[in-house]
Structure 1
Amino acid sequence: MESSETIRAHAIDFFLENGADPTAGMQEVIVLADGCYSGRRFFCAELQVIWSAQTGILSLIDDKAETTEISINDEVPTTNAA
């Protein structure tokens, strides 16, 4: 499983690459499902990053609701329209 620092770094990179103000605050939320740790969710303006602990997939959601999913194990991106 990836460290929270690695996941957070991917989120910050995505936010900056998609025009987020570098001085804007980022929110980080621990996600629980059925009382168990499920992953993390990050917010910055209209941008979101969701990381699933079970799959190791980062879902990167831009301000147009377009989603790119990457496995941070192999770094292969796929793009899906919402």
Structure 2
Amino acid sequence: MGGTLQRTKRGPITVAVHVKGMAQHKVDLIVDGRPLDELPKGGRLASADETVTVTLPARAAVHWIRADVRAEGGRRVLIGNPIYVK
């Protein structure tokens, strides 16, 4: 994970976070330093191999995106590298 995404004409951005071995944990999608609240199922991972997908609208001004995973108590167990958006 990490790198740069070249956004075309400020179109929508679809983000898919694939997580293995983290059942009952929660994905946090961080956009420009703020958690995104509109994740399917609240970002909860029901199985040990799951993908959380969300589309950021074309009107959204986005400079970077990062995915983290938290345990049930809220402890961060995975910190993703940012993906920068141009």
Specify the TM-score bucket, using the shorter chain as the normaliser.
0.3 to 0.5
Please identify which structure carries the higher helix content: 1
How high is the TM-score relative to the length of structure 2?
A: 0.31
| Bigger radius of gyration | 2
